[in-house]
Structure 1
Amino acid sequence: MKNIASIFGILAFVILSSISNPINAQVDDEKASITFLFVSKDVEGTINDLKTDIKIDESVVSNSYMKGSVGVTTIKTGNFLRDGHLMWKKYFYEKAFPKIEFESTAVSEENGKLIVTGILTLKETSKTVEIEFEKNGDSLKGETTINCYDFGVKIDKNRDDNEVKVYFDFPMK
């Protein structure tokens, strides 16, 4: 009888441990992609040199976090001259601010989607943004909209014409 109680105790420990263990989701940075659309100009592009540190705890989503950065010089819009101009001090100023960084402050779940709130630092400005992620197979797909004018990157003089939609595709290892 003592052996049966021990077996049930071990089994209960194993089951409870597996339920509460976080999933350390590692993004395959080599296969991940971030694309964007500068809405008013209908200009699409990519940004690379992604470095991530992500933990998704499916049992307690609020224990999850996302942290990452990309290299400013990897911004590509399909126009070599425009890409070069974007590195100037007036825009991204890659010499002083070579990275765009994000670190979550909260992760929640709504209707099966992960809502990641965090601080986006672009150029010399940090602001709170929200990214909505959805699990798609072995990948996290996300989307957010920012206004680059708010970060000191004023492509157009009118603030409303500086909206950028950003799309994330993070395959997991």
Structure 2
Amino acid sequence: MDEFLADIASEFSNNDLHEGSSTSSETASDKSIKKNSSKTFSLLVNPKQRGNPLLQHICNVTWEFDDSIIPDYQMGKTTCALFLSLRYHNLNPDYIHDRLKQLHKLYLLRVLLVQVDIPDPHHVLKNLTRICILADLTLILAWSPEEAGKILETYKIYENKPADNIKEKGESSPYLRVSNKNYLIDYQSLKYLYCS
């Protein structure tokens, strides 16, 4: 009987060893899951953007550098941004073309965030607008690093929010509901509504 209990005890101790090893492997996988899940809650920044002054102005969301992303900023699974200073674009006009070739069609919403930092931007912006139309990009202009940072921050904050804020609201007044639904109301009906 003592041998039987000793066998059971040894089985439990062996199971504890195996469970301990699986627990350590689970904690390693938990760490990778936790690392990946933190990426979904953070604004991901390409290390090429290290030193960009707009990063100082992103205060309301967490951000972290990630080597695995192609764009400059990833605000969500399907949303990214390329950052371009007009001063840099004047010095390197092919830069944006090269970045777009790398990006391909990997994201549904692709933003070209342009910092306007030259005195006469009209001609350059006209060319960038043409590029954005042809490459299916959304062009957003910022006049300071602070404004550019707030734009990225806002995209990240509203990443999972519903579109209720921009949808048309239903009217509470019956008169407004009638006019909004484009009903044709004859003169007698209007006279009845307003005179009674």
- TM-score bin, normalised by smaller chain: under 0.3
TM-score by length of 1: 0.28
| Higher helix residue share | 2
TM-score by length of 2: 0.25
Larger radius of gyration: 2
Structure with higher RCO (Cα < 8 A, 6+ apart): 1
